[in-house]
Amino acid sequence: MVNPKYAEQVLVGIQYKNSFSWYLGDCEMWYLDYNEAGYLPSEYEKEREGIPILTKDTVDAFLERIEQNKINTEDIKRKFLSELEENPNDAIYDYRPCFLVDFDNSIFYSQFPESISFEEYIPKDWKGYFQKFYENVPDKFRYWQIDGKNYFK
C-alpha cells in the first residue's frame, strides 16, 4: 500500500450498493465532472479515460480500474498507528480522509485541505458539500477511532 500524502495521495470513502470501501489515489481523480473542472480529454487520469463524468452509470467501470487502490480498513489503521508513533503531526494530516462519495444517494462530501472546491465539480443531479463527514462513515470503517480515542476531532 502506498501511503497517503497530504493533498496528493488521498483517502476516499466510497458508498455504493449499500457497501462502504476506502480507496487511495491522486486527488485529481476525484473531480466527479471533469468537464466542469475544465479538464481536456488528454488530461484525464488513466483510471478515468472515457469517463469524464463519474456517476452511478459509470462507477462500475471506474471501480474496476481502481481495484488495486482499494484499502482494507485494518491496513489503514495499522499504518496510521505506526505513523502516529513516528510522526504524529504528519499522520493527522496525511491520513485524514479527503472525500466521501455516496453513489447511493448522489452526494459528494469534501474536506480537501487546500483551496480547491472539488464539491463544485459534480454531476448536475448531485449535491456537493464542503464539510466534515466523519459521522457519515460507518463505525467499523472509522480507522481514526482507536481504543475510545478520536484522532480527528
DSSP assignments along 126-145, one per residue: -EEEES--GGGS-GGG-TTE
Give the pLDDT of residue 43: 75
Query: What does the domain layout of the chain look like in residue ranges?
Result: 9-150
64 alpha carbon, distance to own chain's centre = 16
The secondary structure element, H or E, covering residue 101 is strand 99-102
The three-point CA angle 105-108-111 to 5° equals 145
Give the pLDDT of residue 153: 82
Q: Characterize the bridge pairing of strands 145-146 and 19-26.
A: unpaired
pLDDT tens, the chain, 153 aa long: 689 999 999 999 999 999 999 999 999 999 999 999 998 877 777 899 999 999 999 999 999 999 999 999 999 999 999 999 999 999 999 999 999 999 999 999 999 999 899 999 999 999 999 999 999 999 999 999 999 999 998
Give the pLDDT of residue 2: 80
Give the pLDDT of residue 1: 66
